Amino acid sequence: MGKITVRAAFVTLAMLLVASGLARAAGRAERVSGQGGSQTGTATSAPNPQALADAARNLETIQYSFREVAKKVLPVVVEIDVTEVVKQQTPMQSPFDWFFNQPPGSGKGGERQFRRSGLGSGILVKKAGGAYYVLTNNHVVDAATNISVKLSDQRTFKAKVVGTDARRDLAVVTFDSRDAIQLADLGDSNELQVGDIVLAVGVATVIAALLRPRHRAPAGSSVQARS
């Protein structure tokens, strides 16, 4: 199968909706005719079997297109596992003193730290030498102290943040590998139009939606490199 045209899928979806609407309208007309057979001028046409068959084929075509998009995109979607250190202030008299063998109120207020795990999704977008670069969300990695990238085949690599854009909620992480790893085939977003069908793909998630009007990026937004 050649390049999948999402716009063609949108046209097919519109045809499906029109065909389904005509079939439902014909069915309602038949029911009205059965209820009021003595009335004159009542439509008596039955649902068009050909229209129903065409609608079923169109739906199958759309489903097949979505499957092909998922097959192509999912191998370049990665899971990003992070660990961050969270600091928490403790009161002067903590009800948890008993668990730490401290007499109530004997300890001073202070700060405790604990580790918290999280995960997100990313897209493999570039390779430079032995380094691979992954585009993800800034909120996924912003406070992370440890980052690992898991590929669709379950290979896992330690990674680090090399760039962030907090306003756009974007970040770039990198990891090293000598293996051949598939990269995303990026398109031109300028070719998209409002109303086009788009697929949002993440780890174990594929969601179809219609493209909404885009907003301008906040002034001063840029990816800040990290050493």
pLDDT score of 4 more than 50: no
Confidence at 15, pLDDT banded by 50, 70, 90: very low
* Partner residues linked to 83 by β-bridges: 117, 146
Q: pLDDT > 70: what percent of the chain?
A: 64
Angstrom CA distances, 38 to 30, 46, 217, stand at: 14, 18, 64
- Listed in sequence order, the DSSP H helices in 36-169 are 49-73, 138-141
Instruction: Measure the CA–CA gap between 73 and 67, rounded to whole angstroms.
Output: 10
- Compare 172 and 1 and report the one with higher pLDDT: 172
Domains of the chain: 76-225 (2.40.10.120)
Instruction: Measure the CA–CA gap between 121 and 81, rounded to whole angstroms.
Output: 9
Q: Tell me what the mean pLDDT of segment 16-40 comes to.
A: 48
Side chain identity, residue 190 = N
Q: Tell me what the mean pLDDT of segment 64-82 comes to.
A: 90
Q: Tell me what the mean pLDDT of segment 203-224 comes to.
A: 66
pLDDT tens column, 153-190? 999 999 999 999 999 999 999 999 999 999 998 888 88
Q: Which of 132-136, 190-194, 219-223 has the lowest mean pLDDT?
A: 219-223
Question: Of the segments 26-35, 54-63, 148-157, which one has the largest average pLDDT value?
Answer: 148-157
Q: Tell me what the mean pLDDT of segment 58-62 comes to.
A: 84
Q: Tell me what the mean pLDDT of segment 204-214 comes to.
A: 78
